[in-house]
Structure formats: structure tokens, C-alpha cells
């Protein structure tokens, strides 16, 4: 069976003069359909780089990255953007909403790049905004919304093209505890509905409470992998 996402011996290096910064070094990650995966690590561990590579936002310096069996290292930027737009929805810590677009227009935007006509975009955007509880905020601009409402717009935007994968980067990082719990509950519901969730976090409690598989990153390498099997955690050391 083809893995949904696979990183094989992946490294990401940045060259700064005579110095090489190894943001990731010889990393192997496998993500199966329907999993809820946390990529865990402290600041500087390489988890943001790992997110960018796992989400096909960047290419590796070395190694191979497969998305649904396709080696993305061999794709052109336009091909990569197309497959990414179809398969992955992104939720960012800073929301990344466009300030001069309404909630509805922000959610419609990803569909434009997939060639969906305006009528189709509008109908789908309204549907997902209702799904996240924002039926009365569709015409509001980001600065007219609370942080929790902005994050729900970001979730609706991530769902716009009905992707198989939701990649959430510190999804509760800019939210109060109660609102953060609501966002996590929504991600869990999406997972139960069949979506594959990849959550990047520095919070081990969040990772262990909600994920089924946790990759523990430190200094650009995976220290261990923890999987929940029959309700019990099993840890495998790496490297």
C-alpha cells in the first residue's frame, strides 16, 4: 500500500558563507491515510522546516519526498502548486488571512487557483463557513474578528478544496486556552471524518493528548517515534 506522505533520508541545509546549517538531517517520516500526526519539538528543532517539507512547501537538499506515491522532488513548481492545492489544506499559527478580503473572500481564494467558477466558489465557501460556526461573520474583515474567529476562517479556507490532508502549524499558539480547545476538537472531528491531520507543535501535552503518532524532533533529527496502538503508547528510538 502506498503511504500518503513519505520522507526518505531527507535533509535540508542552508548555506551561510562557509557555514552549513543543517535544519534537518537524515529524517524519515511516514504518514498513513487517516492518521493524526504530531511533529513535536522545541524552538530550533527543525519542526517548521519539517512542516514545510511534509506539506510540499519546500524541496529537500537531499533525499526524497513522496506525496501519494509521487516523488515531488521531480515536479516543476507549477505542478507542485497544483498537487499541493488539491491534496493539502494549511492552517497557520498567525492565521495568514488577507486583511482586505472578507471571511468569505478569504475562503474562496484557494478555489480560484483550482479553476472553480465564482458561483461554485461562493457556494462552497459559505458551506464551510457555516460548518465552522461563522454563518454570521461571512462579510466581516479579519480585523473585525476575534483571534478564535480568524482561526476558524483559516480552518474553513484549509477545507475549501476538500483536501485529504490538513497541516496545522501551532494551531492554538495565538489563542486562549478555551478557544484553543475548540480548535483542537474541530481538528479531531475532521480526523474522525477521514481527514489526515498533521499538527506541528512545541507542546508535548497537546501532542500526546490528541495525536495517534508523534515524531519527536531535536537538532534536526528525529529522536523517537511514539505511536498509540490499541490505546497504549509504543515508543521507537531513532538514530
Domain contains 143 = yes
Please state, in angstroms and rounded to a whole number, the distance separating the CA atoms of residues 148 and 175: 6
Domain contains 139 = yes
Query: How many distinct structural domains can be found in the chain?
Result: 1
Beta carbons of 29 and 43 less than 8 angstroms apart: no
Q: Concatenated DSSP letters for 135-164?
A: TT-TT--GGGS-HHHHHHHHHHHHHTT--S
The predicted pLDDT at position 187 comes to: 93
The predicted pLDDT at position 81 comes to: 87
Domain contains 185 = yes
Domain contains 25 = no
pLDDT in tens, 83-124: 888 899 999 888 899 999 999 999 999 999 888 999 999 999
CATH number at residue 167: 3.40.50.300
Nearest alpha carbon to residue 152 among 187, 121, 122 = 187
The predicted pLDDT at position 137 comes to: 96
The predicted pLDDT at position 238 comes to: 82
pLDDT in tens, 35-45: 999 999 998 89
Please state, in angstroms and rounded to a whole number, the distance separating the CA atoms of residues 52 and 204: 20
Domain contains 1 = no
Domain contains 17 = no
What parts of the chain have a pLDDT lower than 70?
Answer: 1, 239
The predicted pLDDT at position 92 comes to: 86
The predicted pLDDT at position 56 comes to: 87
Domain contains 9 = no
The predicted pLDDT at position 239 comes to: 63
What residue numbers bound the domain in which 46 lies? 33-58+76-237
Please state, in angstroms and rounded to a whole number, the distance separating the CA atoms of residues 93 and 200: 10
For residue 147, how many other CB atoms are within 10 A of its CB?
A: 13
Domain contains 66 = no
Amino acid at each position: 500500500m502506498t503511504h500518503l506522505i513519505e520522507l526518505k533520508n531527507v535533509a535540508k541545509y542552508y548555506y551561510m558563507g562557509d557555514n552549513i546549517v543543517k535544519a534537518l538531517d537524515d529524517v524519515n517520516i511516514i504518514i498513513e491515510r487517516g492518521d493524526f500526526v504530531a511533529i513535536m519539538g522545541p524552538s530550533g528543532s527543525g519542526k517548521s522546516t519539517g512542516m514545510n517539507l511534509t506539506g510540499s512547501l519546500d524541496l529537500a537538499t537531499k533525499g526524497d519526498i513522496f506525496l501519494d506515491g509521487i516523488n515531488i522532488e521531480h515536479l516543476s513548481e507549477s505542478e507542485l502548486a497544483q498537487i499541493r492545492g488539491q491534496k493539502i489544506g494549511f492552517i497557520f499559527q498567525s492565521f495568514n488571512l488577507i486583511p482586505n478580503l472578507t471571511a468569505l473572500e478569504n475562503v474562496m481564494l484557494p478555489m480560484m487557483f483550482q479553476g472553480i467558477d465564482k458561483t461554485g466558489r461562493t457556494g462552497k465557501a459559505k458551506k464551510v463557513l457555516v460548518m465552522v460556526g461563522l454563518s454570521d461573520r461571512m462579510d466581516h474583515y479579519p480585523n473585525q474578528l476575534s483571534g478564535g474567529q480568524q482561526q476558524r476562517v483559516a480552518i474553513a479556507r484549509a477545507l475549501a478544496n476538500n483536501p485529504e490532508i490538513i497541516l496545522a502549524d501551532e494551531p492554538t499558539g495565538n489563542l486562549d486556552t478555551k478557544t484553543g480547545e475548540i480548535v483542537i476538537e474541530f481538528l479531531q472531528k475532521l480526523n474522525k471524518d477521514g481527514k489526515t491531520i498533521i499538527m506541528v507543535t512545541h507542546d508535548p501535552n497537546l501532542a500526546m493528548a490528541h495525536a495517534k503518532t508523534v515524531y519527536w524532533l531535536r537538532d534536526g533529527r528525529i529522536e523517537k517515534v511514539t505511536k498509540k496502538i490499541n490505546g497504549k503508547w509504543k515508543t521507537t528510538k531513532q538514530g
